[in-house]
Amino acid sequence: MTFIKLESLESIPEERRLSYQDLAISIFTVNQPKESKNLTRSECTYCETMIADWSTICPSCNVKFPICVASGKPIMDANQQWTCSRCKHNCLRVELVSFNNCPLCHHPISS
Ligand SMILES: [Zn+2]
Ligand SMILES: [Zn+2]
């Protein structure tokens, strides 16, 4: 009786651990393009084509993206776009975390 109990207790966590592993991998894969700061490709917000993150123009729909003056990367997500009220240049909000002033003209950042 005790032996059977132990055996069933051992087999269940093993199965669960495997399915949790699969789940973790699929969540990671789905979220990676948006969560990762080191992404190398981004999705065009207009036509959903995957384009290199240094590319400022979508090769598919020819949309031109504003350039982040802090990182040099194109800003493909309008929600990530911050525009300096003085010099009118653009920055990615994630890049502004380490700045208190506009990286270009040093105008104080107001959010
Ligand atoms: Zn496009
Ligand atoms: Zn500025």
CA 109 to ligand 2 center in whole angstroms:
9
Rg (alpha carbons) of the chain, rounded to whole number: 22
**Both 57 and 88 in a single domain?**
yes
Count structural domains, the chain.
2
Cα–Cα distance measured from residue 67 to residue 55, given in angstroms and rounded to the nearest whole number: 10
Q: Which ligand is nearest to the CA of 76?
A: 1
**Both 47 and 4 in a single domain?**
no
**Both 89 and 109 in a single domain?**
yes
CA 36 to ligand 2 center in whole angstroms:
26
Residue with tokens 């999705």: 43
CA 101 to ligand 2 center in whole angstroms:
8
pLDDT digit string, tens, across residues 44-90: 988 999 988 888 999 999 999 999 999 998 998 889 999 999 999 99
Cα–Cα distance measured from residue 2 to residue 22, given in angstroms and rounded to the nearest whole number: 31
| Domain housing 6 | 1-36
pLDDT digit string, tens, across residues 15-52: 666 666 666 666 555 554 444 445 578 889 889 999 88
| Residue-level pLDDT at 70 | 93
Q: Which ligand is nearest to the CA of 44?
A: 1
